[in-house]
Amino acid sequence: MSAKENKLDTKSLMPDASGVKQAIAILQSGGLVALPTETVYGLAANALNAQAVQKIFAAKERPSFDPLIVHVPGPTPDWEEWVRMGWLDSSVLKERTLTTLNLWAKDYWPGPLTLILPKGNAIPDAVSSGLTTVGIRMPRSDAMQSVLQGISFPLAAPSANRFGRISPTTASHVLEELNGKIDAVLDGGACNIGVESTIVRPHFKGEEIISLEILRPGAIDPSSLAESGKIPMQAPSTKHFEKTNAPLAPGMLDSHYAPRTPMKWDHAGVSDHAGVSDHSGLSLAVLELPHAAPPPASWSNNTKVLKHAKLSSDPNQAAHELYAVLRDLDALQADLILILGSLPKPEEHPLWHGILDRLTRASHR
């Protein structure tokens, strides 16, 4: 793209009263501001303004079939008001539905939980990609809450990266991805959690939520969610993660969160991958997982290892640093990013499931 087509440089705002005020002014006039959440940086626009929302899709080069999450002000939900404003459908106010929603909100909001709920008619189709539902999330970061509490509309905000690429967890990551394409970034430092919110689709029977489906794993443990919502169910459904070529949820594509450098798992010794890896003559960037494995036999004297990064065995730290480590390895312009070893089991901590999901998609070609 020529310099002429670019906007002027993206403004960097401090997370103080003046920065928040400037972010609010830009959003009120239909512009785009990247804001820090506790998960990753989001690229925010007025969710009720279809034109502003279109700018998100243009800046990210995101296909229109991939719906956006709508961020709401906290610290407690105001379901009646949100229905009155047309953000949500009135069916969420049915007593038994509301009971479950309030239990979840009490335990997890503000925080990294996105709920897929029937949408109200003020949410344009551009946000929901034409679906009758909308993803609602109450983010926890102070900076984003200050912005949300200073405006009268909710914020549509996908992760602030080019479509399919690595999500940003610092303001400088945002600028690497989108400098000149968005109006401003509010620099709130590194995001605490580091991987995106847990997305949950409640299943309704009549007026009641009877089960839940995890569409994207994150920091929240699915069985705690069921317990918290007092849902009479055996086990939460995670059928989305069964191997399939068709995305069961819109936007949940097999390839996502990807570095530009090809990335693959070393499955040395695993029969269906045997013979695939010959690393002689290649320059490698290595990501070693907490359960280490020895370098594969296919490494030879002329395999050049540019960098060997090790992911923390502490799940919170591992999630916190995951995307920054991937970006570092990607910047080396190696022939290949090779993932060695394996992750602890998801039962040990929900974040291992989230990290496995991201690494699997990042290495999918």
Please pick, from the candidates 155, 178, 215, 220, the single residue that binds ligand TXA as defined by CB under 6 A.
215
Segment contacting ligand TXA by CB under 6 A, of 6-14, 97-105, 151-159, 236-244? 151-159
By CB under 6 A, tell whether 170 contacts ligand TXA: no
Nearest to residue 39, comparing CAs of 155, 175, 196, 190? 196
Measured from the CB atom, the residue of 140 and 279 that comes closer to ligand TXA is 140
Query: How far is it between the farthest Cα atoms of the chain?
Result: 68
Residue 180 as a binder of ligand TXA (CB under 6 A): the answer is no
Q: Which is nearer to ligand TXA, 34 or 340 (CB)?
A: 34
Pairing of strands 69-71, 155-156: antiparallel
User: Is 186 one of the binding residues for ligand TXA (CB under 6 A)?
Assistant: no
Residue 95 tokens, joined: 């007593």
Report whether 154 contacts 71 (CB < 8 A).
Answer: yes
Closest CB 167 distance from Mg ion, rounded Å: 5
Q: Residue 76 carries which side chain, given as an amino acid letter? A: T
Q: Looking at residues 222 to 261 of the shown chain, list those that interact with ligand TXA (rule: CB under 6 A).
A: 249-252
Q: Which is nearer to ligand TXA, 73 or 112 (CB)?
A: 112
CA-wise closest residue to 232 among 211, 214, 207: 211
Partner interacting with residue 157 (select from Mg ion, ligand TXA, none; CB below 5-8 Å by kind): ligand TXA
How many residues touch Mg ion (CB under 5 A)? 1
Helix 315-331 to helix 171-178 angle (10° resolution) is 40
Rule CB under 6 A: choose which of 47, 53, 68, 337 binds ligand TXA.
Answer: 68
Residue 197 binds to ligand TXA (criterion: CB under 6 A): yes
> In the bound complex, what is the minimum distance in angstroms from residue 298's beta carbon to Mg ion?
33
Q: Per-residue x/- mask for Mg ion, residues 140 to 159, rule CB under 5 A?
A: -------------------x
Minimum CB distance to ligand TXA, residue 341 (Å)? 27
CA dist., res. 362 & res. 173, Å (int): 17
Q: Is 39 in the site for ligand TXA (CB under 6 A)?
A: yes
Nearer to ligand TXA, 279 or 358 (CB): 358
| Contact of residue 210 among Mg ion, ligand TXA, none (CB under 5-8 Å per partner type) | none
Beta carbon nearer to ligand TXA, 53 or 284:
53
User: For ligand TXA, which is the closer residue by CB, 214 or 287?
Assistant: 214
- Which residues contact ligand TXA by CB under 6 A? 37, 39-40, 42, 66-69, 112, 114, 116, 128, 131, 133-135, 137, 139, 157-159, 196-197, 199, 215, 249-252
- Which residues contact Mg ion by CB under 5 A? 159
